[in-house]
Amino acid sequence: MSTGELLSVEPQELEFPFELKKQISCSMQLTNKTNNHVAFKVKTTNPKKYCVRPNTGVVLPYASCDVIVTMQAQKEAPPDMQCKDKFLLQSAVATPGISPKDITPELFSKDSGNQVEECKLKVNYVSPHQPPSPVREGSEEGSSPRASISDNVTVPRGFAESNEKLSETRSLISRLTEEKNSAVQQKNKIHQELEMLRRQGNKTSGGGVSLITVLFIGLLGIILGYYLK
């Protein structure tokens, strides 16, 4: 940033992202550092090539003003992308209430006794294109970045073994749960069959129980004990 006593200028160099046959603009900001009204005028060494809006104006005390510089479309690029064009910003203390149309060249003449400052600005051409991102060797065109990243991930051996053990444990728990549910169903079924046998035994003469019924109940008891272990 320029450190003039009247206006500070940002940036000190005008940068244009140069492209052939394309109109390009950049801006600079003028800030009044005083409690006076400051008039300014922007000149260039190549007026046919650039358009400056506004090229003259007044910046109020401690206020800012934006100036847009537009480069006309160029048919060819300069050698080595080097630009020799320059801009000159003239500033001078002005009387309060002055308008841009009242600004005359004499206002910026040091012979008139006015406080006048000048700031020279260079022009640089920069490439509008960013360098391409580096591509990992061996990657195929069209593959997604996520897939490329995952291809480079190596799972630690201990972590892989832990995953295998965890999978085996889950499989064992699932199998035991199924066996438990099957045993419970068998238990309920045996209870129902025992209850039916008891009812049938009560219907026999004298309330006694036949030998076949007793043997069948004993057999069911053995089966029930096996499933409930």
Indicate yes or no: pTM above 0.75: no
Q: Are 115 and 4 in contact (CB under 8 A)?
A: no
Tell me if the domain spanning 7-126 has CATH number 3.40.50.300.
Answer: no
pLDDT tens across 142-199, in order? 334 343 333 444 444 554 555 666 767 777 787 777 777 777 777 777 777 777 777 7
Q: Which of 28, 29, 39 is nearest to 6 (CA)?
A: 39
Residue 211 and residue 201 in contact, taking contact as beta carbons nearer than 8 Å: no
Q: For position 195, what pLDDT does the model report?
A: 73
Q: Show me where the domains of the chain are located.
A: 7-126, 162-227
pLDDT in tens, 50-67: 999 999 999 999 999 999
How far apart are the C-alpha atoms of 165 and 167, rounded to whole Å?
5
